Copies of this chain bind each other. A is one copy, B any other.
Amino acid sequence: MTAASLDAWVAARRADLDRLFETRLAAPADGDPGRLLEAMRYSLLAPGKRIRPLLALAAAETSVPPDSDGLLACAAVELVHCYSLIHDDLPAMDDDDVRRGRPSNHKAFGEATAILAGDALLTLAFDWIAEAGERAARPQSFLAASRALAHAAGAFGMVRGQARDLGEPPPATLAALETLHAEKTGALFRAALEVGAHVGGASPDALASLARFGAAYGIAFQHADDIADAEHGQHADGARARLEALIAEACAAVTPLGARGDRLVALARALARRQA
Contacts and interface: CB of A to CB of B under 8 A. Distances in A.
Given A119-B122, A123-B122, A134 B147 contact: yes
Interface stretch (A33-41, A224-232, A245-253): A33-41
Contact of A93 (B115, B127, B129): B115
Interface in A2-42: 34-37, 40
A7 B93 CA distance: 44
A150 B163 contact: no
B36 A163 contact: yes
A113 interface: yes
A137 B159 CA distance: 31
Contacts of A133: 140, 143
Interface in A93-123: 93, 110-113, 115-116, 118-120, 122-123
Contact of A130 (B83, B144, B155): B144
Nearest to A141: B139
A241 interface: no
Given A35-B163, A164-B34, A126 B146 contact: yes
A179 to B, nearest CB: 14
A166 B126 contact: no
**Chain copies in the assembled complex:** 2
Contact of A115 (B35, B115, B142, B144): B115
A113 B90 CA distance: 12
A196 to B, nearest CB: 16
B166 A123 contact: no
A115 B127 contact: no
A150 B134 contact: no
B147 A140 contact: no
A103 B116 CA distance: 22
Contacts of A36: 155, 159-160, 163
Interface string A157-177: 001101110110000000000
A118 B151 CA distance: 15
A92 B111 contact: yes
A116 B151 contact: no
B134 A143 contact: yes
Given A34-B164, A93-B115, A130 B159 contact: no
Contacts of A110: 92
A3 B142 CA distance: 42
25 contacts: A34-B164, A35-B163, A36-B155, A36-B159, A36-B160, A36-B163, A83-B119, A87-B115, A87-B116, A90-B112, A92-B115, A93-B112, A116-B162, A118-B119, A119-B122, A119-B159, A120-B160, A123-B150, A124-B150, A124-B155, A126-B149, A130-B146, A130-B147, A131-B147, A143-B143
